[in-house]
Amino acid sequence: MAKPLILVSNDDGITAPGIRTLVKVAMKVGDVVIVAPDSPQSGMGHAITIGNTLRLDRSIAFEDLDVEAYECSGTPADCVKLAKHHVLKNRKADLVVSGINHGSNSSISVLYSGTMSAAIEAAIEGMPSIGFSLCDYGHEADFSHTEEFVEKIILQALEHKIPDNTALNVNLPKKSEERIKGIKICRQAHAKWQEEFDERLDPRNRKYYWMTGSFVNFDKGEDTDEWALVNNYISIVPCQFDMTAHHAIGMMNEGWQL
């Protein structure tokens, strides 16, 4: 029986430690093709390149693993588009996995995340997809405790399938002395980044701004991704790209005089 074909991408760049961990896990399950940005693309969201050229080259970053790998000058969404329409051509990926991101993409961060945008782009293109993120922003983050769980989730997705037009947002707790308690399927918490803009002066005495701030969770529910992560569970949030506020349609039809 042919192995499943798994496409791997990310937003931290093709040389990031997180994608190497994900590739090694994916190789246990299937045949792997990598198309990832040639430089960090964190926070790019679902941006695509329309005003500049896109370059796609074979990468030596995974030469030691003897796996087909390409680096792209564009965004994570560009990588998935090029993978489907150019690299894979007549091959169809059985699963697209993105990550493992250095840092959480829970709650509202899913909107800003390049990692999740690669996964959502795959779902738009009709390919089952998962975005993986570790709640550790350090470049030297330890991913070793996540491998068995990442493999389990990939196997479950291949066996039981992901619903159409859906991408899974998986967030993994940072390594600690306590073993991860398990995996919970959650909803996205109602939370946001409370930004502040620090006004500074450059060496030429010109003003510039540096965004700072803190994450604020307004959600007290125990069925959210934020609750799961705080309590040392892995969270899985099924995400859709239909952003229609369906509950608002009836209200507007009844109340607005149009």
Q: What is the mean pLDDT of the chain?
A: 96
Domains in the chain, CATH or no CATH each:
5-189+220-255 (3.40.1210.10)
pTM, 2 dp: 0.94
Q: Tens digits of per-residue pLDDT, 118-146?
A: 999 999 999 999 999 999 988 789 999 99
Strand partners, 255: none
Q: 121: how many CB neighbours lie within 10 A of its CB?
A: 27
pLDDT at residue 203 in the model: 97
pLDDT at residue 1 in the model: 72
Q: Is 101 annotated as a binding residue?
A: yes
Those residues of the chain that have pLDDT short of 70 are: none
Q: What is the DSSP string of 51-114?
A: SS---EEE-STTGGGT-EEEEESS-HHHHHHHIIIIISTT---SEEEEEEEES---GGGGGT-H
Q: Which residues of 145-169 are buried (b: 16+ CB within 10 A; e: fewer)?
A: ebeebbeebbeebbeeebeeebbbb
Are the beta carbons of 154 and 188 closer than 8 angstroms? no
**Tell me, what amino acid is at 143?**
F
SS3 34: strand
140, exposed or middle or buried, with CB in 10 Å at 0-12, 13-18, 19+? exposed
Q: Is 12 annotated as a binding residue?
A: yes
pLDDT at residue 140 in the model: 84
pLDDT at residue 90 in the model: 87
Q: Work out the end-to-end distance of the chain between its first and last CA atoms, rounded to an integer number of angstroms.
A: 59
User: In sequence order, which residues have a C-beta less than 8 Å from that of residue 136 and are 6 or more positions away?
Assistant: 102, 103, 142, 174, 175
DSSP 175: P
Q: Is 90 annotated as a binding residue?
A: no
